[in-house]
Amino acid sequence: MHSKLQVRVRNIIEETSTIKRFTLEANDHSMLPYFSGGSHITTFLPYPSGTLERQYSIFNISPESGLFEIAVHLADGSTGGSRFWHQNVQVGDVLSVSYPKNYFPLSFQAKRHVFYAAGIGITPFLSMMAELAEKKSSFELHYAAKSKEQCGFYDYISKTYPHQCHFYFSNGDGAKRLLPTQLLNHRIGTHVYFCGPENLIQDFTTAAKSYGYPSFNIHAERFAPPQKKEQQAFQVKIKRSGKQLDIPVNSSLLEVLLQHGINVPFSCRAGGCGTCEVRVVKGQIDHYDSFLTEEEQRSNHMMLSCVSRGKGRLVLDL
Amino acid sequence: MISHFSLPYPFSDSNVYKYSNNAALLHTKNAIELTDRYLDEISLKRELLTKHPERCYHSSPHTMAAQWEIVDLIINNLVTYYPDKFELEKKDGQWIFSNLLTKETASFKFGDRTTLEIEPLDFIGRHVQEDLILMMQRDGDLILDAGQLCFPANWSLYFNSEMNFKEIHSPIPGFQSDFLVDRILQFLMRIEAGTPWERKNWSLMAGSRLDSSLETFSEWGQARKRVTKENAGELVHFRVEVQKLFRLPKSNGILFTIHSHMLSLEKFIQHTPWLEQFYAILRELPKAIYDYKGISLYREQVLDYLEAELKKR
């Protein structure tokens, strides 16, 4: 359902030995859309086995507007997106990406914004700091890396935000660690934002809550998991009538329900509006919608019948 | 001559109307639509804005960047979809926008408030028939932070300014009690750039005023008492709002454009399937909904009129 943009790789810069920065421009030479601080895009990578979807935070620290930039860290033993970007993508290549989306927006009411990043977790903060600097809002950055050499965008950040940035290098002499106790130094009205490995997010979130930060003031970046694209046939049982229905590979649950006179209200038929939601009593759901929250999807109690499917057999509360 | 063909029809297959998120993907990604009423409605809008700025325009100071984004989006739509009516020339950040229908040309520096006489949203709203509402997404909520509203169907921009989505919609029957309000808010906050949506809303109006604001209810509300079976076809108008929803990617706000269409019942029912369906819907409409829509005083008279017309077919 969602529109895509065609982009061309204009430039590739090695920021560190494991981080590459890709500058993307519109393939038709127009300007790429604007985006708000904390936004990301989905990139659609052509794999022999099908398209691989990967999300990356976007920023634009180049001197020109109308471009997207992403930074990709080559993870050890990666077989997925980061390896593809590092080994297969060349200047001039054309790729599909989504429009910018923002699941990690800046708080409007924050008096001060404090960012905690480790490693490649710096990327959403590049666009957030740019937005705050433009608005002349108050912020600071705490950024941990193994060493100065392994610290992506070290030169750019220390030059652009000399009074707002604090670096923590864990290797070598005079190693300095980034600890959650740093959270004790912020004033009331501060919003804190975490991005990095899962254990950093958890440690800092737990610490912030224990220090008395309202959960409203704590933000962390999490990307939606990549979606599977291969659809399977499945069965449903209607709880009230006991009727059993087969949903073939090429039909949606909504279509089959309507064919059998079960009038589920619907509107967009694309997993976006939430109208055709049905309650699920039993069975495992494969969610393909962009409407339910992750929590709601995980609860396994509801699904959008226009796009989502069952694994095996579902019992519907209808 | 305005016929039923010019009216966007708001009902789906069902003969029972209830509130739902009846949004659908907008395939032609145009926020704006020009009709043959363009010049009349533009001049009415401008007159209202001049005489009653306090009820037709509002903006919070932090919306300026989003307002420019709206100018960018709407001008782009106008020159893309109506290239024979609107022109745009860009020179070193200077924009020269020409409206060939009103024979006006505006020159301004994009992003520089001082180069326009009025705020950007107010400026561009005066070139389109749509009302323009900006909801900013702030701290997990949607707030009505700016709007240019000349043709409200019985609501007040002044009253609703800086309210959140739930507060604005709290008078709608059943909206609070079930999950609908949360579901629709969730839907709106997930609207993505590049994927705009559209929904239609309907009501009846005794009279044919587009500017039926809450502030002027005493001027137009009285007509409800004058509706009879005999005059309903001429006096009562069927009103459709086409609402389009766009994510503004830079400010992360949402632009609602509202195009109000109106047609007298006698023209509306010329198309027999519409007459049949609307009669069925109005007959089954729950009291809470027709009370809310302001139809209670003359619903019986309209039903009598529609029934008599049905018998003639």
Contacts of B183 in chain A (CB under 8 A): 274, 277
Q: How far is CA B272 from the centre of its chain?
A: 26
Quick: pLDDT tens for B63-102: 999 999 999 999 999 999 999 999 999 998 899 999 999 9
| Å between B260 CA and nearest CA of chain A | 21
* Every domain of chain A and the residues it spans: 4-98, 112-220, 234-316
Minimum distance, in Å, between the CA of residue B140 and any CA atom of chain A = 9
User: From the candidates B12, B21, B138, which should be mutated to test the interface with A, based on the most A CB atoms within 10 A?
Assistant: B21
**CB-based contact B194 A5, cutoff 8 Å:** yes
Q: What's residue B267's pLDDT?
A: 95
| pLDDT (0 to 100) of residue A115 | 98
Alpha-carbon gap: A265 to the closest alpha carbon of chain B (Å): 9
Average pLDDT over residues A12-40: 96
Among B20, B76, B182, B192, the strongest candidate for a mutation testing the A interface, having the largest count of A CBs within 10 A, is B192
pLDDT of residue B2: 53
Say which of B139, B184, B190 has its CB closest to residue A290. Answer: B190
Inter-chain touch B138–A265, beta carbons under 8 Å = no
- E strand spans, chain B: 24-25, 57-59, 86-91, 94-99, 104-109, 131-138, 141-148, 197-206, 236-248, 253-264
Same fold, A4-98 and A112-220: no
String of b and e for B125-146 (b: at least 16 CB within 10 Å)?
Answer: bbbbbbbbbbbbbbeeebbbbb
Taking the CB of residue A104, how many other CB atoms lie within 10 A of it? Answer: 22
Write down the pLDDT at residue A222. 60
Which residue on chain A is closest to B64 by alpha carbon? A135
Residue A198: the pLDDT is: 83
Range among A77-81, A171-175, A248-252 with highest mean pLDDT value: A248-252
Show the tokens assigned to A59.
Answer: 């920023």
Q: Which residue has the higher pLDDT, A47 or A65?
A: A65
Residues 6+ apart with CB under 8 A from B52: B215
B251 by Cβ neighbours in 10 Å (0-12 / 13-18 / 19+) ranks as: buried
pLDDT in tens, B120-135: 999 999 999 999 999 9
* Local confidence band at A1 (pLDDT 50, 70, 90 cut-offs): low
**Do residue B249 and residue A35 have CB atoms under 8 angstroms apart?**
yes
Strands of the sheet containing B86-91, edge to edge, are: B86-91, B94-99, B104-109
Residues of B in contact with A2 (CB under 8 A): 192, 194-195
Work out the minimum CA distance from B253 to partner chain A, whole angstroms: 10
Window 56-85 of B, Cβ < 8 Å to A: 69
Cβ–Cβ < 8 Å for B148, B122: yes
- Cβ atoms within 10 A of the Cβ of A68, count? 25
Q: For all residues of chain A together, what is the average pLDDT?
A: 91
Chain B residue numbers with beta carbons less than 8 Å from the beta carbon of A216 are 139
What is the architecture of the domain spanning A4-98? Beta Barrel (2.40)
CATH 1.10.3720.10 fits A234-316, yes or no: no
In tens, the pLDDT along B137-156 reads 999 899 999 999 999 999 99
Whether the CB of B16 is below 8 Å from some CB of chain A: the reply is: no
pLDDT of residue A226: 42
Contact state of B195 with A36 under an 8 Å Cβ cutoff: no
Q: Taking CB atoms and an 8 Å limit, are A268 and B24 in contact across chains?
A: yes
pLDDT at res. B22: 82
Determine the topology of domain A112-220 in CATH.
Rossmann fold (3.40.50)
